[in-house]
Every structure is written in C-alpha cells, then in structure tokens.
C-alpha cells in the first residue's frame, strides 16, 4: 500500500450480496478506498437459486465473479475470505488471519436458513441459501426418482416419490411448483418402472395462507395454481418432527417422505455477535435511522442482517430491492460524510412490489393497487428477473434456457454430482 493510499479513508464492506455489492458500486466516485470481503468468489442472484435446485439452470448462470463485476472500479479491492472477528475499538476486521483497518464498516453478511431450535432437522430438511445447498437439493430430488425406479418395496417407493416443501413464502411456493413440474412434465417419459407423474408434492405452511406478504386474493390464486399442478397445499400445519424418512404435521399426521426441503425461515448471519450489538430474535442487528449502529456511527448494518422498520412499523422485507436500496443509501451517507456535506434524511424503504411464480406460465404480482396473475404476471416475473441479473451473459443464458424449457418441457441441468459418489 502506498502512503497516499493509506491517507485515503478506507471503507470495508463485509458480504457481496445485493446490499454489499450495491454499496461497493455506489462508492465508485467517493473519495475513499473500498475493500469488499466475501467468503465466495461470486455474487449470487439468490431469487433464482430454486431453479438450480430443480435442475432448470446451472450455478454459473446465476453467479458472477465479484472481481469481474468490480474490475474497472479502480478504488475497489476484492478479498475472498471468511470474516472471523470485528474489533470495534481498533476499527479492524480479521479475515482469515489478515487484519483490515477501516474508517467505515458496512456489514452485509445476509442471512441463512434457520430451524428455530430444531437444528437436528437440517440433515433431513436442507434449506436453500447457497449454491452448494442448491446442488445438494438437486442431487437429492433426482436421486429419489432413480432410487424409486429400482425400489421393490412399495412403501419405500412411495416415500421416495413424496416431496414435502416446508414454508409457504415465495421460495416454498416456487420450489413446490418446480418440483411438481419436474415430476409431471420433465421426467414423465424417462422411467420404465415408476410413473413420475404419480409423485406426491406437499407444500406445508404453518400460517393460514400462502404468500403472507401478498394480498389475500393473490394467496388464493397461488394456491389454486399450485393445486392445478397437483401440489397438495397444507395450511395451518406446523411441522412438529422431521427425520430422514418422515415429517410430522401437527399432532396427528405423519407423512412418509425421503425428500423434505426447508423454506420456512431465516436467521441473520452472526453479525450481531461479531459487533456485540443488540439484535431481534431472528438475529438482526438493531440500527439507527441512518442504518448505522446507535453507538458507532462509522459502522453500518444493511440487508438481511439489519432489523429495519418501515413507516407503518412493519419490518422491511428480506427482498433484493430492499437490500439494494440500503446499499445505495449507506453509500450516500458515507459519501456525504467524507465530503462534509449535510447529513441525509433517515433511510426509507420504497416497496416496489412482490412477485412469485408458480411453474409454467403462472405467477402472482402484487404492486399495491395493481395486482396481476396468470400469464401476464409470469412474463413480467421473467422479464424482471432477467433484467436484474448481472451481465449480458447471464441474461442471455437464462432467457434462452427458459425459452427452451418452455418449448420442450425439459430441464437442462439434470446432473447428479458429488459429494457421495464413489471416488472413481
């Protein structure tokens, strides 16, 4: 590091998800150095991760190397590594043994799936947050059909062909729809001993309706669209037990299944612990109106890691647009401080709308007064997701593969890959 560089204020950003990456890019023209730290070498477009898990897309289609996104931003450095500790007194972060001093720190380390006191369910009911989760779930889903094909015991075969998705939010709705399509459309001609079309797909929701963040009539539309695909929707059903061969709903019902997917809840990353900061029960850090820590104006927490309230007191939802808005906002706050400009007004979340797709040519879109369903909502969903993907390459590849899948009813990424395969 040259001496001039050392005099330039240093902004360290932890996490290259939507929030952290947006902040890094928004600081391009600010009088500072930026170091973006992530334990992966890529930014992941999480809204489409379920399509990797259901064999429609490849991991690389929705993941972009962080370095290549920021290659032309000369004030930005990328560091791949795991955050180990934050020293607020010394204003330092430790990343795999290296110590980074900071003038401003932005914590955007996201969230992970949570089992609310049932961490032992993790093996039986994997969640969907990372690429490795997605290829793991893909492997399990596809192997279930392979094993059912050669299974001679009828009960085991039925359990192999029963799929239970836990959680009726957008991820759960999209997963259940995609699994039903995989079984009833993609795989329908591929087996000789079993009929994949007979696979049972359950979507289990503890609350009284699917897509609780949407208008109630859209919840009904989504449920009907899923039921048309052959998904059994179970509302008001809490999961009370979960193992490798069954899931228990409420007090009485036991469903024999070898395939449970967890989409029921998330927990913030351990940022509150690193920071020694106050947090809510989902682990999200309590922040001041400008998203900084109440007792440390040089530290900001944004994205899924922060507990932020809207004007009406409801929490800002864990959506990509919210994360990006926070990233943009703190970049502006930091720029203003560096330039000794007046402080910005408090962060205000602008809700742009909610979207969820339910398989082929069906979706629900809730833009407040404007509500869309069916093919139009589905087209909009596709356009918006392709638009927000990073880079021409991902956009073209994803759009083309969707077109191909739409025309042929096939899914292109049906690979059962390691771990668990014999070494050779």
In 61-152, beta strands by DSSP E = 63-65, 76-80, 83-87, 92-95, 98-101, 104-107, 111-113
Decide if residue 422 touches a copy of itself (CB under 8 A).
yes
**Cβ(300)–Cβ(13) below 8 Å:** no
- Alpha-carbon distance of 127 to 260, in angstroms, equals 9
Is 174 annotated as catalytic? yes
Candidates 65-73, 154-162, 305-313, 337-345: pick the segment binding a copy of itself (CB under 8 A): 65-73
Residue 56: HSE in the Cβ half-sphere, 13 Å Cα cutoff:
28
**Cβ(396)–Cβ(390) below 8 Å:** no
- Alpha-carbon distance of 210 to 222, in angstroms, equals 8
Candidates 66-74, 228-236, 250-258, 352-360: pick the segment binding a copy of itself (CB under 8 A): 66-74
91, 95, 99, 101 alpha-carbon torsion, rounded to 10°: -30
Which one, 208 or 391, has the nearer CB to a copy of itself?
391
Decide if residue 412 touches a copy of itself (CB under 8 A).
yes
CB of 341 to a copy of itself, least distance (A): 29
CB of 27 to a copy of itself, least distance (A): 16
Going residue by residue from 10 to 39, which x/- string records binding to a copy of itself, judged by CB under 8 A?
-----------------------------x
CB of 289 to a copy of itself, least distance (A): 31
For the purposes of burial, counting CB atoms within 10 Å of the CB of 368, is it exposed (0-12), middle (13-18) or buried (19 or more)? exposed
Per DSSP, the three-state class of 300 is strand
Q: Which residue in 3, 84, 151, 174 is the catalytic one?
A: 174
**Cβ(20)–Cβ(61) below 8 Å:** no
Q: Read out DSSP for 18-52? A: HHHHHHHHHTTTSSSEEEEEESSSEEE-GGGHHHH
CB of 91 to a copy of itself, least distance (A): 20
CB of 308 to a copy of itself, least distance (A): 23
> Which one among 8, 9, 28, 81 touches a copy of itself, defined by CB under 8 A?
81
Candidates 12-20, 130-138, 209-217, 360-368: pick the segment binding a copy of itself (CB under 8 A): 130-138
> Which one among 28, 88, 103, 191 touches a copy of itself, defined by CB under 8 A?
191
> Which one among 18, 30, 42, 300 touches a copy of itself, defined by CB under 8 A?
42
Residue 51: HSE in the Cβ half-sphere, 13 Å Cα cutoff:
28
Q: CA 16 from chain center: how many Å? A: 13
CB of 254 to a copy of itself, least distance (A): 29
**Rg (Cα) of the chain, in Å, rounded?**
22
Decide if residue 197 touches a copy of itself (CB under 8 A).
no
Which strand (E) or helix (H) includes residue 259? strand 259-262
Per DSSP, the three-state class of 110 is coil
Decide if residue 3 touches a copy of itself (CB under 8 A).
no
Decide if residue 132 touches a copy of itself (CB under 8 A).
yes
- Alpha-carbon distance of 219 to 209, in angstroms, equals 6
Decide if residue 244 touches a copy of itself (CB under 8 A).
no
> Which one among 99, 216, 400, 406 touches a copy of itself, defined by CB under 8 A?
400
Going residue by residue from 149 to 188, which x/- string records binding to a copy of itself, judged by CB under 8 A?
xx------------------------------------x-
CB of 371 to a copy of itself, least distance (A): 35
Per DSSP, the three-state class of 292 is strand
| Residues in contact with a copy of itself by the rule CB under 8 A | 39-42, 58-61, 63, 65, 67-68, 71-72, 77-82, 98, 112, 130-132, 135, 142, 146, 149-150, 187, 189-192, 392-394, 396-397, 400-401, 404, 408, 410, 412-419, 421-422, 424
Catalytic residues: 174
């Amino acid at each position: 590091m040259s001496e001039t560089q050392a005099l330039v204020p240093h902004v360290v950003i932890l996490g290259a998800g939507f929030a952290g990456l947006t902040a890094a890019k928004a600081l391009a023209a600010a009088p500072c150095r930026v170091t973006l730290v992530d334990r992966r070498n890529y930014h992941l477009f999480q809204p489409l991760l379920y399509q990797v898990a259901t064999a429609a897309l490849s991991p690389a289609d929705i993941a972009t190397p962080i370095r290549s996104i920021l290659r032309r931003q000369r004030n930005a450095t990328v560091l791949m590594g795991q955050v180990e500790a934050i020293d607020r007194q010394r204003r330092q972060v430790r990343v795999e043994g290296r110590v980074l001093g900071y003038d401003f720190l932005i914590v955007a380390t996201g969230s992970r799936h949570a089992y609310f006191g049932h961490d032992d369910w993790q093996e039986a009911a994997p969640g969907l947050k990372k690429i490795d989760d997605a290829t793991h779930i893909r492997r399990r889903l596809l192997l279930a059909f392979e094993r059912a094909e050669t299974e001679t015991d009828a009960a085991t075969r039925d359990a192999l062909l029963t799929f239970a998705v836990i959680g009726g939010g957008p991820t759960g709705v999209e997963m259940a729809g995609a699994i039903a399509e995989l079984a009833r459309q993609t795989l329908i001609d591929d087996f000789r001993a079993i009929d994949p079309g007979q696979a049972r797909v359950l979507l289990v929701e503890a609350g009284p309706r699917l897509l609780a963040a949407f208008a109630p009539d859209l919840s009904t539309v989504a449920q009907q669209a899923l039921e048309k695909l052959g998904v059994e929707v179970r509302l008001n059903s809490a999961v009370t037990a979960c193992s490798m061969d069954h899931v228990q709903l409420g007090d009485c019902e036991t469903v024999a299944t070898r395939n449970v997917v967890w989409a029921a809840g998330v927990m913030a990353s351990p940022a509150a612990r690193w920071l020694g900061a106050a947090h809510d029960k989902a682990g999200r850090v309590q922040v001041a109106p400008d998203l900084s820590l109440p007792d440390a104006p040089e530290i900001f927490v944004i994205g899924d890691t922060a507990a932020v309230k809207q004007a009406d007191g409801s929490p800002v939802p864990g959506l990509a647009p919210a994360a990006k808005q926070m990233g943009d906002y703190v970049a502006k706050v930091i720029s203003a401080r560096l330039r000794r400009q007046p402080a910005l007004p408090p962060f205000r979340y602008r809700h742009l709308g909610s979207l969820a797709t339910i398989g082929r040519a069906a979706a629900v879109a809730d833009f407040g007064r404007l509500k869309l369903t069916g093919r139009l909502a589905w087209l909009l969903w596709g356009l918006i997701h392709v638009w927000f993907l990073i880079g021409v390459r991902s956009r073209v590849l994803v759009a083309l593969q969707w077109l191909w899948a739409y025309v042929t009813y096939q899914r292109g990424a049906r690979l059962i890959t390691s771990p668990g395969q014999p070494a050779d």
